[in-house]
Amino acid sequence: MTPTPAGDQFGFHYFSTTLDDIAVPDEPGIYVARVPLGIDRKSMLLRTVARELKFPDYFGCNFDALEDCLRDFSWLPDCRQVVIIHTGLPLRWNRATLVAYLQILRDAVAFWKADPQLRLDVYFPEPVRGEIVRYLADEWGD
Protein backbone atom coordinates (compact mmCIF):
# COMPACT_ATOMS: atom_id res chain seq x y z
CA MET A 1 0.00 0.00 0.00
CA THR A 2 1.28 3.42 -0.88
CA PRO A 3 1.57 6.52 1.27
CA THR A 4 -1.44 8.80 1.23
CA PRO A 5 -1.83 12.57 1.37
CA ALA A 6 -2.08 14.24 4.77
CA GLY A 7 -5.05 13.33 6.90
CA ASP A 8 -6.95 14.85 9.79
CA GLN A 9 -7.79 13.84 13.34
CA PHE A 10 -10.77 11.82 12.11
CA GLY A 11 -8.71 9.56 9.85
CA PHE A 12 -9.77 11.10 6.53
CA HIS A 13 -7.33 11.96 3.74
CA TYR A 14 -7.45 14.93 1.39
CA PHE A 15 -6.27 15.39 -2.17
CA SER A 16 -5.11 18.76 -3.44
CA THR A 17 -6.18 19.30 -7.00
CA THR A 18 -6.74 16.08 -8.89
CA LEU A 19 -7.57 12.48 -8.21
CA ASP A 20 -4.05 11.72 -9.45
CA ASP A 21 -2.89 12.78 -5.97
CA ILE A 22 -4.34 9.50 -4.71
CA ALA A 23 -2.01 6.58 -5.37
CA VAL A 24 -4.18 3.47 -5.27
CA PRO A 25 -2.62 0.41 -6.86
CA ASP A 26 -4.78 -1.53 -9.29
CA GLU A 27 -4.37 -4.91 -7.60
CA PRO A 28 -6.61 -7.76 -6.51
CA GLY A 29 -8.00 -7.20 -3.04
CA ILE A 30 -8.12 -3.40 -3.37
CA TYR A 31 -11.59 -1.95 -3.91
CA VAL A 32 -12.30 1.65 -4.83
CA ALA A 33 -15.60 3.49 -4.52
CA ARG A 34 -16.00 6.84 -6.23
CA VAL A 35 -18.64 9.19 -4.85
CA PRO A 36 -19.23 11.86 -7.52
CA LEU A 37 -19.82 15.54 -7.04
CA GLY A 38 -23.41 16.67 -6.71
CA ILE A 39 -24.95 13.96 -4.54
CA ASP A 40 -27.57 15.83 -2.55
CA ARG A 41 -29.93 13.08 -1.38
CA LYS A 42 -29.26 10.39 1.21
CA SER A 43 -30.86 7.71 -0.98
CA MET A 44 -28.61 8.65 -3.91
CA LEU A 45 -25.52 8.53 -1.69
CA LEU A 46 -26.43 5.14 -0.24
CA ARG A 47 -27.16 3.67 -3.68
CA THR A 48 -23.87 5.01 -5.04
CA VAL A 49 -21.74 3.60 -2.21
CA ALA A 50 -23.62 0.29 -2.35
CA ARG A 51 -23.09 -0.03 -6.12
CA GLU A 52 -19.44 1.04 -6.01
CA LEU A 53 -18.55 -1.40 -3.21
CA LYS A 54 -20.81 -4.17 -4.51
CA PHE A 55 -22.78 -4.35 -1.25
CA PRO A 56 -24.68 -7.61 -0.78
CA ASP A 57 -28.36 -7.87 -1.76
CA TYR A 58 -29.43 -7.68 1.87
CA PHE A 59 -28.13 -4.09 2.19
CA GLY A 60 -31.04 -2.14 3.71
CA CYS A 61 -30.22 1.22 2.07
CA ASN A 62 -30.15 3.14 5.37
CA PHE A 63 -27.39 4.48 7.60
CA ASP A 64 -27.51 1.52 10.01
CA ALA A 65 -26.97 -0.85 7.10
CA LEU A 66 -24.18 1.37 5.72
CA GLU A 67 -22.43 1.27 9.07
CA ASP A 68 -22.75 -2.52 9.18
CA CYS A 69 -21.40 -2.97 5.65
CA LEU A 70 -18.46 -0.62 6.24
CA ARG A 71 -17.43 -2.85 9.15
CA ASP A 72 -17.71 -6.13 7.26
CA PHE A 73 -16.27 -6.55 3.79
CA SER A 74 -16.57 -10.33 3.79
CA TRP A 75 -18.41 -10.33 0.42
CA LEU A 76 -15.36 -8.77 -1.29
CA PRO A 77 -12.90 -11.51 -2.28
CA ASP A 78 -9.49 -11.27 -0.61
CA CYS A 79 -10.22 -7.70 0.52
CA ARG A 80 -7.09 -5.92 1.82
CA GLN A 81 -7.99 -2.29 1.26
CA VAL A 82 -11.14 -0.28 0.61
CA VAL A 83 -10.83 3.28 -0.67
CA ILE A 84 -13.77 5.69 -0.78
CA ILE A 85 -13.03 8.77 -2.88
CA HIS A 86 -15.40 11.74 -2.72
CA THR A 87 -15.02 14.29 -5.52
CA GLY A 88 -17.01 16.78 -3.44
CA LEU A 89 -18.91 16.95 -0.18
CA PRO A 90 -22.17 15.00 -0.52
CA LEU A 91 -25.36 16.05 1.25
CA ARG A 92 -23.91 19.51 1.69
CA TRP A 93 -27.32 21.18 2.04
CA ASN A 94 -28.56 18.82 4.76
CA ARG A 95 -26.19 19.31 7.65
CA ALA A 96 -27.70 16.70 10.00
CA THR A 97 -27.58 13.99 7.35
CA LEU A 98 -24.07 14.99 6.25
CA VAL A 99 -22.81 14.89 9.85
CA ALA A 100 -24.37 11.44 10.34
CA TYR A 101 -22.62 10.21 7.17
CA LEU A 102 -19.28 11.69 8.27
CA GLN A 103 -19.65 10.06 11.70
CA ILE A 104 -20.25 6.66 10.08
CA LEU A 105 -17.15 7.08 7.91
CA ARG A 106 -15.05 8.29 10.86
CA ASP A 107 -16.14 5.35 13.02
CA ALA A 108 -15.54 2.83 10.23
CA VAL A 109 -12.01 4.17 9.63
CA ALA A 110 -11.31 3.91 13.37
CA PHE A 111 -12.76 0.37 13.47
CA TRP A 112 -10.39 -0.89 10.75
CA LYS A 113 -7.29 0.75 12.28
CA ALA A 114 -7.19 -2.14 14.76
CA ASP A 115 -7.12 -4.75 11.98
CA PRO A 116 -3.73 -5.27 10.31
CA GLN A 117 -5.36 -7.28 7.50
CA LEU A 118 -7.61 -4.56 6.09
CA ARG A 119 -7.37 -0.82 5.62
CA LEU A 120 -10.17 1.67 4.95
CA ASP A 121 -9.15 4.99 3.44
CA VAL A 122 -11.62 7.83 2.92
CA TYR A 123 -10.69 10.79 0.71
CA PHE A 124 -12.19 14.23 0.22
CA PRO A 125 -10.98 17.24 -1.79
CA GLU A 126 -8.75 19.57 0.23
CA PRO A 127 -11.14 22.56 -0.09
CA VAL A 128 -13.78 20.80 2.08
CA ARG A 129 -11.38 19.83 4.90
CA GLY A 130 -12.29 22.81 7.09
CA GLU A 131 -16.00 22.16 6.69
CA ILE A 132 -15.62 18.49 7.64
CA VAL A 133 -13.46 19.28 10.66
CA ARG A 134 -15.93 21.95 11.77
CA TYR A 135 -18.93 19.63 11.46
CA LEU A 136 -17.31 16.79 13.37
CA ALA A 137 -15.76 19.10 15.97
CA ASP A 138 -19.22 20.65 16.57
CA GLU A 139 -20.60 17.15 17.03
CA TRP A 140 -17.94 16.49 19.68
CA GLY A 141 -18.70 19.78 21.38
CA ASP A 142 -15.23 21.21 20.70
Please compute the mean of the pLDDT values over residues 33-41 and round it to a whole number. 95
Contact between 83 and 31 under an 8 Å Cβ cutoff? The reply is: yes
Contact between 108 and 120 under an 8 Å Cβ cutoff? The reply is: yes
| 107 in any annotated domain | yes
Taking 70 as the threshold, does the pLDDT of residue 20 lie above it? no
| 126 in any annotated domain | yes
Taking 70 as the threshold, does the pLDDT of residue 131 lie above it? yes
Question: How far apart, in Å, do the first and last CA atoms of the chain sit?
Answer: 33
DSSP per-residue codes, 47-66: HHHHHHTT--TT--SSHHHH
DSSP class of 122: E
Q: CB-based burial of residue 82 (10 Å sphere; 0-12 exposed, 13-18 middle, 19+ buried)? A: buried
Whichever domain contains 75, its CATH number is: 3.30.370.10
Mean pLDDT of the chain: 89
| 100 in any annotated domain | yes
| 106 in any annotated domain | yes
Q: How many domains does the chain have?
A: 1
| 85 in any annotated domain | yes
pLDDT band at 9 (very low <50, low <70, confident <90, very high): confident
pLDDT at 21: 59
Give the domain extent around 52.
13-140
Taking 50 as the threshold, does the pLDDT of residue 103 lie above it? yes
| 5 in any annotated domain | no
pLDDT at 120: 96
pLDDT at 137: 86
Please write the tens of the pLDDT for every residue from 48-91: 999 999 999 999 999 999 999 999 999 999 999 999 999 999 99
Contact between 24 and 15 under an 8 Å Cβ cutoff? The reply is: no
| 2 in any annotated domain | no
Give the global pTM. Answer: 0.89
pLDDT band at 27 (very low <50, low <70, confident <90, very high): confident
| 26 in any annotated domain | yes
